Amino acid sequence: MENITIKINGRDVSAPAGSTILEAARLANIEIPSLCYMKEINEIGACRICVVEVKGARSLVAACVYPISEGMEVWTNTPRVMEARKKTLQLILSNHKKGCLACVRNGSCELMDLCRQYGVDDAHLYDGEMTPSEVDTSAVHMIRDNGKCILCRRCVAVCKETQGIGVIGANARGFATHIGSAFEMGLGETSCVACGQCIAVCPTGALREKDFTKEVFAAIHDPEKIVLVQTAPAVRAALGECFGLPIGTDVQGKMAAALRMLGFDKVFDTNFGADLTIMEEANELVERIQNGGVLPMITSCSPGWVKYCEHYYPEMLPHLSTCKSPQQMFGAIAKSYWAEKMGVDPKKIVMVSVMPCTAKKFEIGRPGEAANGMPDVDIAITTRELGRMIERAGIRFTELPDEPFDDPLGSGTGAAVIFGATGGVMEAALRTAVETVTGETLGRLDFTDVRGVDGVKEASYTVGSLTVKVAVASGLANARTLLEKVKSGEADYTFIEIMGCPGGCVNGGGQPQVPYGIRNFVDIRAERAKVLYELDKNNPVRKSHENPDIQELYANFLGKPGSEKAHHLLHTGYVARTVNPKF
């Protein structure tokens, strides 16, 4: 693409034709602030924080939507620009709850950061009537507080454009405008899939997950309880961000140490559950291929995706693997095999999971997720909630030594840890399924065709005498594209992996929030995924079926993959849901 030259603050800047002023400024290491802009999905110029001066223009222009042209002269930091941004922030604050000290985003709020940057200390300058709002707590996984909403519409854009769902939008007009669902339904009454991507992109505390840290602390300090914790693969790739570490820092060892310091009785790794999932899922795939079962088989690890399928594609439910997610498999095994092995009453066990995903809060209450007559998992918290727990406990996270997970449910293979990245479940399953079908040892374990952050990936592999066609999708709008190809007969896949969140669990709705000044120009999905692929590469055991603790579990408890006992503990079912549950 041809580059053109403009002047920004008196300096020549070269940028591709078609770039906006905001994008060109970024190339010149000039940060233009914004509260609404999300590259490619929310380029609407609504917040007016990014205004700049352009020579010849009669008024200030929004840098996020204003295209550059040859010879253009731009100023980003004149007194007129600074005063306009400050006034806009004051006007936003005039209709904003100001309980900042008690807000979950205190210290990580994009609005607060800008107010600090522009010296907005007279927040009451425009006091007056505020738009009436109510706090919506109807959803299992999250809370909406429109009193803190700044109408940036990021949540609306990610729900509609990235996830293809669109259960929220701008209701009413003028001063009464607010973000809500159709007919003012509570979010829990809609076909929301609990992915939490709206929370991930919200610049303020208007959207937040339901916090269960109080319940976790209470369980830890109850002498009658045995409190176990499991941590998902993607958590170790992002938790460090809660404590100022760079995006893409591996904190696996420090995380295990912190969990032990918090008082959990045992610190386990969901990677064990991921290896177990592969054993059951690969077996199910082989059985379907060999016995004429429903194909393509689609993975069932992502509860946001599963709920999406139940709402929007119920006719595709027979294609879903009946395997529970690694979180749920782990809980079922902890309250059966581990309890029996340790000689403890499973009713005394409190199983806590730390997940990058808000949909896990929904999943733990699903039907078919209580194999032992009690919930497989009792409490699911997000990466952010764990960060808050560590902070409240006064633990100096960055100074902790690395510690291992506890045995025997703390072991995991390289195949398990890549579950956190899009394509990881597919790659892990192929490592086991190929060796199961052929009886031969794979010479090369890296199925790189299914790696990367592209929304849809396709590949074809020869397995013995079979040709296995696979596809991977992340983000539910991409899932829709893939499913429509299957329904129309355009695609003839054998196996499909779908993750509800773009890029997979590393970009889950429960991960640390990253300001869009960074998100728009740094692919946090790829940076976090690098951690998982590095852990896989350096793991001496890279195939799930070679995990010695998994082998012992089958030898002494489950029998074999797909056994009656395994089905009872590790498999589940699905229900067709209406698109508008209220009607």
Whether 172 and 309 map to the same domain: the answer is no
- What CATH code is carried by the domain that includes residue 117? 3.30.70.20
**Integer Cα distance of 57 and 552 in angstroms:** 73
Torsion sign over Cα 241, 356, 312, 378: negative
Task: Say how many CA atoms lie within 13 Å of 78 toward its Cβ.
Answer: 14
- The answer to whether position 562 is within a domain reads yes
Residue 379: exposed, middle, or buried by beta-carbon count in 10 A (0-12, 13-18, 19+)? buried
- The answer to whether position 215 is within a domain reads no
pLDDT mean values, one per 10 residues, the chain (583 residues): 93 95 95 95 95 96 97 97 96 92 94 95 78 96 98 98 96 96 95 98 98 98 98 98 97 98 98 97 94 96 97 97 98 98 97 98 97 96 98 98 96 96 94 86 84 92 85 97 95 96 97 92 96 96 96 97 97 89 51
- The answer to whether position 86 is within a domain reads no
**Integer Cα distance of 298 and 425 in angstroms:** 11
- The answer to whether position 575 is within a domain reads no
- The answer to whether position 216 is within a domain reads no
**Integer Cα distance of 61 and 37 in angstroms:** 14
Which residues, in sequence order, are CB contacts of 21 under 8 Å at separation 6+?
8, 32, 52, 54, 61, 63, 64, 66, 67, 68, 72, 74
- What CATH code is carried by the domain that includes residue 36? 3.10.20.740
Whether 73 and 102 map to the same domain: the answer is no
The one-character DSSP state at 554 is: I
Residue 8 belongs to what H/E stretch?
strand 3-8
**Integer Cα distance of 352 and 229 in angstroms:** 5
Residue-wise DSSP of 227-295: EEEEE-GGGGGTGGGGGTPPTT---HHHHHHHHHHHT-SEEEEHHHHHHHHHHHHHHHHHHHHHHT--S
**Integer Cα distance of 318 and 296 in angstroms:** 10
Whether 188 and 237 map to the same domain: the answer is no
User: Where among 26, 46, 77 does a domain terminate?
Assistant: 77
Whether 231 and 344 map to the same domain: the answer is yes
CA distances from 575 to 120, 285, 367, 572 (A): 51, 21, 9, 11
Whether 311 and 349 map to the same domain: the answer is yes
User: Where among 183, 209, 235 does a domain terminate?
Assistant: 209
CA distances from 516 to 111, 165, 352, 421 (A): 12, 22, 31, 21
For residue 67, the enclosing domain spans 3-77
User: Where among 176, 209, 242 does a domain terminate?
Assistant: 209
Question: In this predicted structure, what is the pLDDT of residue 582?
Answer: 53
- The answer to whether position 232 is within a domain reads yes
**Integer Cα distance of 507 and 502 in angstroms:** 6
Considering only CA atoms, which of 297, 361, 299, 298 is closest in space to residue 327? Answer: 361
**Integer Cα distance of 524 and 528 in angstroms:** 6
Which residues, in sequence order, are CB contacts of 37 under 8 Å at separation 6+?
22, 43, 44, 45, 47, 50, 64, 516, 520
Whether 169 and 313 map to the same domain: the answer is no
Strand partners, 355: 382
Question: In this predicted structure, what is the pLDDT of residue 583?
Answer: 42
Whether 8 and 130 map to the same domain: the answer is no
Tally of structural domains, the chain: 3
The one-character DSSP state at 42 is: B
Whether 123 and 151 map to the same domain: the answer is yes
Whether 184 and 239 map to the same domain: the answer is no
Give the pairing type, strands 495-499 and 297-298.
parallel
Whether 237 and 180 map to the same domain: the answer is no
Question: In this predicted structure, what is the pLDDT of residue 363?
Answer: 98
Whether 286 and 341 map to the same domain: the answer is yes
